[in-house]
């Protein structure tokens, strides 16, 4: 009986010793998991794709307030923005803020707006009247803007409600972050590369 009692005590001691080891393994595995998540998620978040929530009505009806987008931050490392692209960029007057607008003028071009008619003079001297089927609300304006080799002219689709290149000037290439790759919310408008509008020119 005594041996049996000792055996039980020894087993109990072994159990008590093994518990801290399990706890230690749990924390080690947790730390490893967190470290792995950081190594995988952070590079994707900051260099490949990141979430963006539309705020305001400057891009109505193409993008409305509260829509949830995933921004492609890779494409423009290998190619330049095209006319008609919707882009995400840092606001030049306050880089802590992010804006969403549409590319209208490309580097080296001259844009002339008379009333509601937009004429673009390309770098080869050719003039084009740029149709804008995505614009539902407009406002008559008169202006001319000539871009440098690193500047883009951007405007919101909802012209009366947009703060864009008409107000604060051309956008330098260095401020461009990427373009909407996926619209996740609302689910009814789920789509890939939403808002694109390229017209032959």
58 in active site: yes
Question: Catalytic pick from 55, 101, 126, 165?
Answer: 101
Contacts of residue 52, defined as CB under 8 A and 6 or more positions apart, other chains included, come to: 68, 69, 70, 71, 88, 98, 100, 180
Helices and strands (H and E) in the chain: how many? 2, 12
101 in active site: yes
Question: Catalytic pick from 18, 58, 122, 145?
Answer: 58
CB-CB contact of 201 with 121 (8 Å): no
**56/163 Cα distance (integer angstroms):** 11
**Catalytic residue positions, numbered:** 58, 101
């Amino acid at each position: 009986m005594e041996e049996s009692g000792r055996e039980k005590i020894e087993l109990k001691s072994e159990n008590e010793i093994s518990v801290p080891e399990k706890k230690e393994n749990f924390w080690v595995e947790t730390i490893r998991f967190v470290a792995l998540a950081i190594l995988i998620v952070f590079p994707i978040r900051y260099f490949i794709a990141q979430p963006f929530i539309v705020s305001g009505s400057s891009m109505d009806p193409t993008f409305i307030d509260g829509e949830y987008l995933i921004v492609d931050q890779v494409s423009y490392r290998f190619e330049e923005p095209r006319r008609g692209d919707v882009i995400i960029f840092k606001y030049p007057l306050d880089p802590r803020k992010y804006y969403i607008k549409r590319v209208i003028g490309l580097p080296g071009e001259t844009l002339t707006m008379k009333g509601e008619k937009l004429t673009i003079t390309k770098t080869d001297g050719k003039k084009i009247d740029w149709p804008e089927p995505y614009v539902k609300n407009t406002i008559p304006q008169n202006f001319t803007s000539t871009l440098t080799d690193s500047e883009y002219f951007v405007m919101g689709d909802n012209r009366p409600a947009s703060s864009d290149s008409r107000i604060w000037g051309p956008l330098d290439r260095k401020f461009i972050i990427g373009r909407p790759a996926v619209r996740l919310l609302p689910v009814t408008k789920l789509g890939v590369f939403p808002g694109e509008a390229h017209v032959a020119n």
